[in-house]
Amino acid sequence: MGSRISVLNSRSLLTVGSAIGLAAFLYPFWLSAPALRANTDDVRTTEAPIILAILTGLCLLTLLVELTRAGGSGGDGRPTLTSSKAVALLGVLVAIDAVLRLVPTLLGASPIFVLIIFVGAVFGPSFGFVMGALTLLLSAFLTGGLGPFLPYQMLGAGWVGLTAGWLPRLEDSRQRLVLLAIFGAIWGLLYGALLNLYAWPFSAPGLDVDAGLYWIPGLEVREIVSRYGRFYLVTSLGYDLFRSLATVVLCLAVGGPVLRLLERYRERFGWQVLEASLPKCHR
């Protein structure tokens, strides 16, 4: 019962945090033209510290809930990690992945998403979300990438790890690796498309000038989607294709050993309650 309550609390935390993050991405589309003009020169700087604080607190609370779970499976076939080992393992994985962001890359290619995907797939949605969000937070300090965009990057990476934890655990290792590579290819494009929403509503050269690529108040949903598609095509698709391709290549090239290593740690650090069949006592 205690384990089920902890899992429910963990899922509730992630649901609430994701809903807040999604609202932060989308709220500019409900702004009026005067309000949009007022925020154009100071894009996202007002709510960014609030979202960052909420995300950091969410990660810590989620981690705390995961660590206080009783022994046994969390309902997804993954055994519970004991607290000290889980903290150490997650810390090492986040540190390794954050350092990978220092590796020189071409255009939008980045090696950090591969480990986030694998951690989510092996250890589950909660650890995947925390892994993604904290990796972007730590790597921002290492690379000097601090700014109002950071909490939105953390959300995007957290959702990568979260959804990786929802993937089926295929028995065939090759099929599982291909599935993770396809998943990485999709998120390579989706991550860029999502992060564009951070600034797209504020990027119009002039709210009174219809350039055909930007959002302006009063557009219908179909026109918003059409304009965003054109904007994404001419500004981000090339970079995101490199990210998607790099993720696929890395998944297939190094994914096998990495997956086996993570699975080995999951089995070593995890434990499950075994119910032994005891003989009945007869008087």
pLDDT digits (tens, 9 = 90+) for 47-91: 888 888 988 888 888 877 766 654 444 445 454 455 567 778 888
Q: What is the rounded distance in angstroms from the CA atom of residue 63 to the CA atom of residue 213?
A: 41
In this prediction, residues 100-120 reach a mean pLDDT of 87
What global pTM score does this model have?
0.85
SS3 80: strand
> What is the b/e burial string over 6-40, where b = at least 16 CB atoms within 10 angstroms of the residue's CB?
bbebbbebbeebbeebeebbeebeeeeeeebeebe
Residues 6+ apart with CB under 8 A from 252: 177, 178, 181
Residue 279 lies in a domain: no
Tell me how many domains the chain contains.
1
SS3 270: strand
Cα–Cα–Cα angle for 251, 256, 259, rounded to 5 degrees: 90
Higher pLDDT, residue 273 or 140: 140
Residue 275 lies in a domain: no
- Half-sphere exposure for 192 (CA within 13 Å, toward CB): 24
pLDDT for the residue numbered 9: 73
Residue 226 lies in a domain: yes
Domain that holds residue 133: 2-269
Residue 236 lies in a domain: yes
Percent of the chain with pLDDT over 70: 78
In this prediction, residues 1-14 reach a mean pLDDT of 62
Residue 65 lies in a domain: yes
**Closest among 187, 189, 195 to 161, alpha carbons compared:** 187
Residue 129 lies in a domain: yes
**What burial class does residue 283 get, using C-beta atoms within 10 Å of its C-beta: 0-12 exposed, 13-18 middle, 19+ buried?**
exposed
Give the tens place of pLDDT for each residue, 243-259.
999 999 999 999 999 99
Helices (H) and strands (E) in the chain, counts: 10, 2
Residue 55 lies in a domain: yes
Residue 281 lies in a domain: no
Cα–Cα–Cα angle for 210, 236, 125, rounded to 5 degrees: 120
Give the tens place of pLDDT for each residue, 127-147.
899 999 999 999 999 988 888
Direct distance between the N- and C-terminal alpha carbons of the chain, in angstroms, rounded to an integer = 32
CATH assignment at residue 102 = 1.10.1760.20
Highest mean pLDDT among 99-103, 124-128, 153-157, 263-267: 153-157
Say which range, 30-34, 148-152, 274-278, has the weakest mean pLDDT: 274-278
Decide if 184 contacts 247 (C-beta within 8 A).
yes
